[in-house]
Every structure is written in structure tokens, then in C-alpha cells.
């Protein structure tokens, strides 16, 4: 969908989302369009106060060309490539050169238009491309000064003065542009970061998970998502206060950061709910990682006034789903099962979790209509910490009865 004339002029906002690159091109085009239009207006206005015999027809032609370029940019708009912007800036430089030449004055005020080109170049283009524009301006301005050949003038000094001012102005714009970009980057990071733990928040997690999922699809590689929740965390806030709860969350985030691999990403996606994205990990590798995190949490909080444990659910692409929604939903279902089966355990998602919970606990999991296949993978929900105990045998017996 192409933007309307009012949208191109910036009078109304576009009602549809645009890609970042297209949005940048639109801003560049709109700025250049107004740059040429303003130059044409100033040039035509100068004709009203210029004395006769100062090349008025030539100067008028310069203003007409600037106006024509403004209309051209309006028509083409955000379809202009990067080299097109460079060519338009070079055309603007030639128009300024022609205006200075037509005025017959080496100190013509039309040379001030060079500053507009310098500011635009250093704000929108890379420093290398902006430097190329400055070099072209220097060559063009030197040519027009030499062409005049006024023996009583000092073209070298005048050229050096103007070009040095252009370079300083451009450098200042470049510095300010870098400062703004860094500020925007920090604000963008802050919008995706949990202020308490320093981990990704839900927004950052979802964006990164979408990226990793697309990479897993293209490379036909597994990808696991681990969702975990602190058991009985509400009691910490109620008994010891929110400051103690915050310290517990900070401690948990540090444990997750140490337990995960370097390629994994941890995030806080809720109050006491955390998630880990594990690229190139099938359900077995993710289960081992989840158990390591669960064990570390249990051991690190064992001597605290508020001993906490972790319930974990996980799902793996493509075994348990192919979309972000299905994978996160599956991990949530597994987490729900871990809570209902006694907490402090890891559960791998399986489509028959609902039926198994109904048989073992008498309470079905939510969204039971989703489940219709076998129960065999439920052996993976048996907590390894109970291996060899009566509790372990009883759990195995209940699952065997369901199977």
C-alpha cells in the first residue's frame, strides 16, 4: 500500500505499520522534499530584492529546478534507493554552484545553501558518504570561485573559510546523531529488560523467541523453551516482606544465569515466573538443563529463612509444536502439571498431560480438548530426586495404571 500525498507530506500519520527501513526512507525522502522546496522558495523570494542585471533569469531557473526536484521526490518518495539520495544531494550541490555563478559574486549568500546539504548528509548518511558529499561541495565551490577570476578577491581564503565551517557543522551534526542513536538504543534495551533482575522481560523474551524459532526452522534444528515458577513464593512476600521477595528473585536470576549455557537466554516473564530459551537443545538436553537449574535453586535456598524450590515445564520444537504460541502454551501446560504433581520437579510437555492429571490427582489440566495421543512420555515427569524411594515407586505405580 503506497502512502497518500498527505502522508508523504507528513500532515497525517500512516495508518498502517511500516518496516523500519521503509520508515527511514520515508523520513529521508520527506526531509529532502522539504529541503528542495524551501530552497526554491528562498531563491524565488531573493529575486524580489535582487538588483537588475544580476543573472535573474539564471537564478530563477535554479529555483525552478529545485522545485522540480522537490516534486520528483514527492512522487517517488520511499522508493528512492540510497544512491538516489546521494545523487539528489549532488544535484543540489550543482544547483547551489550554478546560483553562486549566476549571481556573479564570489561572496554570494547562495553559498549558504551548502550548509543545508552538509546537515542533511551528516544526519541521514553514513560518515563515509557524508564525507564524499563534502568533498564534492569543496570541488564544486572551488570551481565556481576560480571561474569568477576576480583579481581583487581572495578566493582561497573564502573557500577555506566556507568549507571549514561546513566540516565543523557536519561534524557537530554527526556527533549529535551518534548521541541520539545511543540514547534510542538504551531506551530500546530498557523496554526489553526487567529492571529488578536485569534479564529480558516478556517483550524481549517474545521477540527473541520468535527470532530463535525462525532460525531453528531454517536450520531444521531443535529449540526448547523452559518455563519455571518459584513454589510458594507468595508466602515469602507475606511473611518477610517485598524486599525479601525481590532479593529472592535477584538470587534466582543469578542462579539461572550461571546454570544455563552461553547460547541460552533467561528472561523474567512474570512476577515469579521465568523462562529460558535453549537453542539446539532437544527435549532430553533441555530436561537435563532444567534439572540442573532446579537442583541449584533447591540447594542455594536450602539454608535461607524461606527455602524455595522451582517447578519447571518445557516444550521442544518441532516435537511439541511449530509455533511460538503452541510451544509456550505447551511449556505452561507442563509447568501446571509440575505444580499439580507435587511441585519441585520438571515435566516435559506431552499431549496426554490432562488425562494423566485427572487420573493421578483428580484435577484436569486446562484446555483438555488439546490432548489426544499416548501417555508413554510421562515417565519423564518422575522426579529424579525420589529415585529408589517409596514415593518414587508409588508414582511409577500410578502412572503405570494410567498407561
- Where exactly are the structural domains of the chain? 5-191, 202-402
CA pair distance 141, 170, nearest whole angstrom: 17
Distance CA 347, CA 345 (A): 7
Question: How sure is the predictor about 395, in pLDDT bands with cuts at 50, 70 and 90?
Answer: low
Phi, psi of 310 (to 5 degrees): -125, 130
Q: Is the per-residue pLDDT at 26 higher than 50? A: yes
pLDDT band at 398 (very low <50, low <70, confident <90, very high): low
Task: Look at residue 184 in the predicted model and tell me its pLDDT.
Answer: 83
Given a cut of 50, whether residue 403 has pLDDT beyond it is no
Task: Report whether pLDDT(348) > 60.
Answer: yes
> How far from the centroid of its chain's Cα atoms is residue 380's Cα?
37
Per-residue pLDDT, 150:
57
Cα separations in angstroms, 215 against 13, 211, 222, 277:
33, 6, 10, 13
CB 380 within 8 A of CB 291: no
- Of the candidates 298, 296, 333, which has an alpha carbon nearest to the alpha carbon of residue 313? 333
| 262 vs 24, residue with greater confidence | 262
* Spatial separation of the C-alpha atoms in residues 230 and 273, rounded to whole Å: 7
- Indicate if the pLDDT at residue 20 is higher than 60: no
> pLDDT (tens digit, 9 = 90+) per residue, 65-114?
999 999 999 988 878 888 999 999 999 999 999 998 888 887 788 999 99
Domain at 202-402, CATH from 3.30.70.270, 3.75.10.10, 3.40.50.300, 3.40.50.10170 = 3.30.70.270
pTM over the 0.85 mark: no
pLDDT value of position 382: 46
Lowest mean pLDDT among 68-77, 97-106, 365-374, 388-397: 365-374
What does the pLDDT look like over 138-155, one tens digit per residue?
999 998 888 876 545 577
pLDDT score of 381 more than 50: no
pLDDT (mean) for 311-321: 94
Q: What are phi and psi of 118, to 5 degrees?
A: -65, -45
Task: Say if residue 318 is preceded by a cis peptide, omega within 30 of 0.
Answer: yes
Amino acid at each position: 500500500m503506497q502512502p497518500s500525498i498527505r502522508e508523504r507530506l507528513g500532515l497525517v500519520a500512516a495508518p498502517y505499520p511500516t518496516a523500519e527501513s521503509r520508515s527511514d526512507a520515508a523520513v529521508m525522502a520527506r526531509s529532502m522534499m522539504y529541503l528542495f522546496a524551501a530552497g526554491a522558495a528562498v531563491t524565488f523570494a531573493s529575486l524580489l530584492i535582487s538588483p537588475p542585471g544580476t543573472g535573474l533569469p539564471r537564478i530563477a531557473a535554479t529555483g525552478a529546478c529545485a522545485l522540480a526536484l522537490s516534486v520528483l521526490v514527492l512522487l517517488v518518495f520511499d522508493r528512492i534507493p540510497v544512491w538516489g539520495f546521494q545523487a539528489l544531494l549532488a544535484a543540489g550541490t550543482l544547483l547551489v554552484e550554478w546560483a553562486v555563478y549566476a549571481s556573479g559574486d564570489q561572496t554570494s549568500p547562495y553559498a549558504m545553501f551548502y550548509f543545508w546539504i552538509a546537515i542533511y548528509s551528516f544526519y541521514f548518511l553514513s560518515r563515509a558518504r557524508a564525507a564524499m558529499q563534502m568533498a564534492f561541495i569543496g570541488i564544486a565551490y572551488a570551481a565556481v570561485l576560480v571561474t569568477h577570476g576576480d583579481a581583487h578577491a581572495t578566493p582561497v581564503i573564502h573557500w577555506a573559510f566556507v568549507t571549514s565551517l561546513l566540516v565543523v557543522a557536519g561534524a557537530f551534526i554527526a556527533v549529535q546523531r551518534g548521541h541520539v542513536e545511543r540514547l534510542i538504543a538504551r531506551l530500546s534495551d530498557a523496554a526489553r529488560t526487567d529492571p529488578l533482575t536485569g534479564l529480558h522481560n516478556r517483550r524481549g523474551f517474545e521477540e527473541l523467541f520468535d527470532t530463535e524459532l525462525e532460525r531453528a526452522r531454517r536450520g531444521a534444528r531443535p529449540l526448547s523453551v523452559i518455563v519455571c515458577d518459584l513454589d510458594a513464593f507468595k508466602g515469602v512476600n507475606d511473611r518477610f516482606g517485598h524486599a525479601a521477595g525481590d532479593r529472592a528473585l535477584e538470587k534466582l536470576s543469578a542462579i539461572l544465569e550461571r546454570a544455563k549455557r552461553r547460547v541460552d537466554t533467561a528472561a523474567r516473564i512474570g512476577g515469579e515466573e521465568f523462562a529460558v530459551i535453549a537453542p539446539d537443545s532437544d527435549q532430553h538436553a533441555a530436561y537435563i538443563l532444567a534439572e540442573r537449574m532446579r537442583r541449584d535453586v533447591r540447594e542455594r535456598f536450602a539454608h535461607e529463612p524461606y527455602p524455595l524450590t522451582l517447578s519447571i515445564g518445557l516444550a521442544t520444537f518441532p516435537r511439541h509444536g511449530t509455533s511460538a504460541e503452541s510451544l509456550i502454551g505447551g511449556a505452561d501446560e507442563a509447568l501446571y502439571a509440575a505444580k499439580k504433581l507435587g511441585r519441585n520437579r520438571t515435566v516435559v510437555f506431552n499431549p496426554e498431560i490432562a488425562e494423566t492429571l485427572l487420573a493421578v490427582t483428580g484435577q484436569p489440566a486446562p484446555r483438555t480438548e488439546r490432548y489426544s495421543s499416548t501417555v508413554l512420555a510421562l515417565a519423564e515427569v518422575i522426579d529424579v530426586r525420589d529415585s529408589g524411594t517409596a514415593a518414587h515407586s508409588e508414582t511409577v505405580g500410578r502412572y503405570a495404571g494410567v498407561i
